[in-house]
Amino acid sequence: MTTSEENYLKVIYHLSQVSPKGVNTNAIAGMLETKASSVTDMLKKLSDKDLVSYQKYQGVTLTENGFLSAKMIVRKHRLWEVFLVDKLQFSWDEVHEIAEELEHIQSIALIDKLDAFLGHPDFDPHGDPIPNRQGEIKKTSKLLLSEAELNQEYHCVGVKDSSSEFLKYLDKQKIALGSVFKVIEKESFDDTLTVEINAQEKIISNKIANNLYVQ
């Protein structure tokens, strides 16, 4: 499989989580910063290889094959992110782009050994689950901070938006995976939250609260 094909598969995989009954050509083009016509070309190719099932004008879904392949790419991406953060001391906002390259390295033995070296992690540095070598994903019942109940203790288990910008903001606010949250008050006017984070009171906007997963 080429790097380009892998990138398409991965994007279709991610978009499928939001629109499971068919991913739009334009949506794929948007994610890959390419043109719709290029996407159509590639969908035909992926369809010929039985990685997606595609009917003109009707959007695209992953086949069994494509689904597994996509999860293997995600597995590689997230394992490399763990390596970069845990072993090479990168911060969590720096690793995405490098992992985008590393995820296309082919060797299966490499990934198995990397997995073992890292201690078979279940989650990447942003709290996203790492599929195992069979493609199985550990499900957790996380919820958004904006949906949290008042005066209950939660801890941060992930971020929804993992853009460098957002992650740097969290660093500045000393919010990390594992941070302890308790929502003290919810301002009904603008949904701003008053939250006790690691025993410090902070005001959290709705936008932030909508991008933090807690448990």
Partner DNA sequence: AGATATTTTTAGTTTTGTCTAAATTTAAAT
Partner DNA sequence: ATTTAAATTTAGACAAAACTAAAAATATCT
**Token duo for residue 36:** 């719709």
Identity of the residue, 49 or 186, whose beta carbon is nearer to DNA in the bound complex: 49
Return the residues of window 123-182 that contact DNA according to CB under 7 A: none
Instruction: Choose the stretch contacting DNA; rule: CB under 7 A; options: 27-35, 102-110, 176-184, 189-197.
Output: 27-35
32: which 2 tokens?
């890959």
Q: Tell me the closest approach of the beta carbon of residue 183 to its own copies, in angstroms.
A: 38
User: Which part of the chain contacts DNA (CB under 7 A), choosing from 12-20, 55-63, 86-94, 204-212?
Assistant: 55-63
Nearer to DNA by Cβ, of 37 and 140: the residue is: 37
Nearest 5°: CA angle at 142, between 102 and 101? 5
Choosing among DNA, its own copies, none, which partner's interface includes residue 215 (Cβ < 5 to 8 Å by kind)?
none
Measured CA to CA, the distance from residue 148 to residue 141 in angstroms comes to 12
Choices 15-23, 38-46, 98-106, 188-196 (CB under 8 A): range interacting with its own copies: 98-106
59 binds DNA (CB under 7 A): yes
User: 119-125 long-range CB contacts below 8 Å, 24 or more apart?
Assistant: 121/79, 121/82, 123/78, 123/157, 123/158, 124/77, 124/78, 124/79, 124/81, 124/82, 125/81, 125/82, 125/84, 125/85, 125/86, 125/92, 125/95, 125/177
Residues 59-88 that bind its own copies (CB under 8 A): 84, 87-88
Please state the closest distance from residue 123 (CB atom) to its own copies, in A.
21
Q: Which stretch binds DNA (CB under 7 A): 51-59, 79-87, 93-101, 126-134?
A: 51-59
Backbone phi, psi, residue 23, to 5°: -100, 135
